[in-house]
Amino acid sequence: MNSVAFVVIAILTLAAALAAASLQKLIHAALCFAAAFVGVAAFYFLLGAEFVGLVQVFVYVGAVAVLIVFTILLTRRDAERERGFHWSGALIALAIFAGLLWAIVRTSGLSVAAPWIAPLTVRQIGEALMTDYVWPLQCLGLVLTAALIGALVLVMEEKG
Amino acid sequence: MNPTLQLFLIISAALFCIGLLAALSRRHAIFILIGIEMMLAAAGLNFIAFWRFAPQPAPPTGVMVTVFAIAIAAAEAAVGLALVITVYRHYRTTNVDQIDQLKG
């Protein structure tokens, strides 16, 4: 693993995430959200999980970001920009980050180097999905179908 | 020097807390959804990092959990955004502070 790549990806991801959390204009925040998720996908590539990185790009940058942009456009009349900001939330997030950081730094045995790893092929993932994970896969299909139908029912116009 | 597991965990914790910040402090429903998605992505990053740094050969459990988490997060985003649109139709607002009719 390349440490230069790590630093660059980390800075880009965290900057984009912070921008997505703090920008005033919703549409800019949505674009920064997409950029942050490209960064997370780059982390997956760096860690040797190429398939997950591709899934992340397809699902988040391809589908969820488009959904968010469409929702922003559909609810536009409300607030092009919104002003309310609760500082107590920022305090809670900072406190939790401090706690997590303390726990991570205090835990011993985390500063290990990555072992050599045989590349994880899509064939292996597919075989695992069809053998060990076949029931979770079926349940996930059911959940996705139910979510799709539920979303359609929710946004359908009520007819008198 | 190569990045260690600790660094990945710190990045993931930072991403989680940025998501928490967005979910707790913004008042727009879409921002809250974006924050929740970020927290889920941070959890996925943790799973992948622990899988990568585990003693090899390791079964691809972390990869599988992350793939399932991404799929469930997509379903959650679809339903959540549909709810935002429905609430907007009823109340003409997406500010969660003004949607308080169920407040006891």
Model confidence at A100: pLDDT above 80: yes
State pLDDT tens for residues B79-103. Answer: 999 999 888 888 888 888 787 777 6
Q: Do A93 and B31 touch (CB under 8 A)?
A: no
Q: Do B20 and A94 touch (CB under 8 A)?
A: no
Give the pLDDT score at B98. 80
> Residue A154: which of B55, B70, B86 has the nearest Cβ?
B86
Model confidence at B38: pLDDT above 90: yes
Cα dihedral B75, B99, A96, A69 in deg (nearest 10):
40
* DSSP type of residue A157: P
The least confident of A120-134, A136-150, B33-47 is A120-134
> Which whole number is the average pLDDT over A30-54?
92
Contacts of B60 in chain A (CB under 8 A): 120, 124-125, 128
Closest CA to A78 of B54, B63, B96, B10: B96
Please tell me if residue A75 touches chain B, with a CB cutoff of 8 Å: yes
Strand partners, A85: B26
Model confidence at B28: pLDDT above 70: yes
> Which whole number is the average pLDDT over B39-66?
88
CA distances from B49 to A1, A10, A89, B36 (A): 12, 14, 28, 20
Higher pLDDT, A90 or A109: A90
Return the H-helix or E-strand segment holding A37. helix A26-46
Higher pLDDT, B92 or A66: A66
**The dihedral of CA A136, A139, A145, A147: what is its sign?**
negative
User: Which residues between 8 and 27 in chain A have a beta carbon less than 8 angstroms from any beta carbon of chain B?
Assistant: 10, 13-14, 17-18, 20-22, 26
Give the pLDDT score at A78. 55
The residue of B12, B31, B86, B87 whose CB has the most chain A CBs within 10 angstroms, and thus the best one to mutate to test that interface, is: B31
The ranges assigned to domains in chain B are 5-91
Q: In chain B, what percentage of residues exceed pLDDT 70?
A: 97
Q: Do B75 and A51 touch (CB under 8 A)?
A: no
Q: Do A82 and B27 touch (CB under 8 A)?
A: yes
Tokens 């020097």 correspond to what residue?
B1
Model confidence at A40: pLDDT above 90: yes
Model confidence at B75: pLDDT above 80: yes
Higher pLDDT, A157 or A88: A88
Give the pLDDT score at B9. 92
Q: In chain B, what percentage of residues exceed pLDDT 90?
A: 47
Q: Indicate the pLDDT class of residue A77, thresholds 50, 70 and 90.
A: low
Question: A65-74 vs B61-91: helix axis angle to the nearest 10?
Answer: 10
CATH code: domain B5-91 is 1.10.287.3510
Closest CA to A47 of B82, B62, B70: B62
Closest CA to A150 of B86, B35, B102: B86
